[in-house]
Amino acid sequence: MPMFQHRNQVLPPGASLGSGLTPEAAKDLGLPPGIAVAASLIDAHAGGLGVIGADVKGHGLACEGQPVTSRLAVICGTSSCHMGISKNPIFVPGVWGPYFSAMVPGFWLNEGGQSITGKLIDHMVQGHAAFPELQAKATARGQSVYAYLNSHLDLIKKAQPVGFLTVDLHVWPDFHGNRSPLADLTLKGMVTGLKLSQDLDDLAILYLATVQAIAFGTRLIIEAMESAGHSISTLFLCGGLSKNPLFVQMHADITGLPVVLSQEVESVLVGAAVLGACASGDFASVQEAMAKMSKVGKVVFPRHEDKRYYDKKYQVFLKLVEHQKEYAAIMKGD
């Protein structure tokens, strides 16, 4: 006879567990015994839950009259996750899933990702020769280095759109391999268009090119998802990088899609609260809780007049990885 027996019971996110909080746990946490405990989610999935179901009425968004499956949640921090859901399973090469009820109960989840995003921006900025000067100037102005860089870009762009400063500087962002949609850990980062100067202007433009490269990576993931059967009309961004207006605007301009930012910046906490509110019986479903508890803070629309420029930069972006693979093949050859 076995010394103990157990059984596995799989429950959807937001389901109420057992008889609520045990007396022992309640004592440790300073909470009432029996308070509802929800089946939980990992942080990125909770962030997706916290943004993707927001009521968007009155914001002029295409997704207002479309199912929730037309939305892509992008949780962007040190790395980034791209969460798309569907009613039926969709298999996307290089994108994880489909996983049933992994984020929103009753829907299949596909999860794309970029291995380094915020970490890459830090790496490019902090490793530049002009970084000490940037740090000193940002501190003197009482700003973060990124707020200072954004304002410096506005200063040097003159009459042209800020994104056009990178006309001859291009970055491939896979300094730590590619998670989606190429699923190739051997890929490396690339920068083309470097000059001999290393002043603050050069640092600001390299920072811009890196932000754009991350947005082009998101565009590549979206194209892979749409080729497989997804139909995405709106991005919902959350996480640390969503606080950077340049990062947000570049994602709108480069994907050609509007970006929704939540009223509550900490969307992971909203997602966790949605689950708790379902377990407690305050809402009948996760979908109802999402619509009531997720609020739209701001909508950023793409500058469609810049589309031709970004389409050309995207062509260069795709050439970079194509060429990198060619270089690797040459070096492996006889």
What single-letter amino acid sits at 173?
P
Find the helix or strand (DSSP H, E) in which 300 lies: strand 296-300
Eight-state DSSP code of residue 291? H
Tell me the pLDDT tens digit for each residue of 225-248.
999 999 999 999 999 999 999 999
234 neighbors 62 (Cβ within 8 angstroms): yes
Find the helix or strand (DSSP H, E) in which 272 lies: helix 267-279
What does each C-alpha distance from 41 to 7, 232, 275, 293, 309 come to in angstroms?
21, 24, 9, 17, 40
Question: For position 7, what pLDDT does the model report?
Answer: 65
97 neighbors 110 (Cβ within 8 angstroms): yes
- Identify which has the larger pLDDT, 203 or 266: 203
Question: For position 265, what pLDDT does the model report?
Answer: 83
Question: For position 3, what pLDDT does the model report?
Answer: 43
Tell me the pLDDT tens digit for each residue of 133-187.
999 999 999 999 999 999 999 999 999 999 999 999 999 999 999 999 999 999 9
Tell me the pLDDT tens digit for each residue of 27-65.
999 999 999 999 999 999 999 999 999 999 999 999 999
Residue 75 neighbours by CB under 8 Å, 6+ apart: 44, 47, 48, 81, 83, 238, 239, 267, 268
d(CA 316, CA 310): 10
In the structure, what pLDDT confidence band is assigned to residue 2 with cuts at 50, 70 and 90?
Answer: very low
Mean pLDDT of the region 279-286: 96
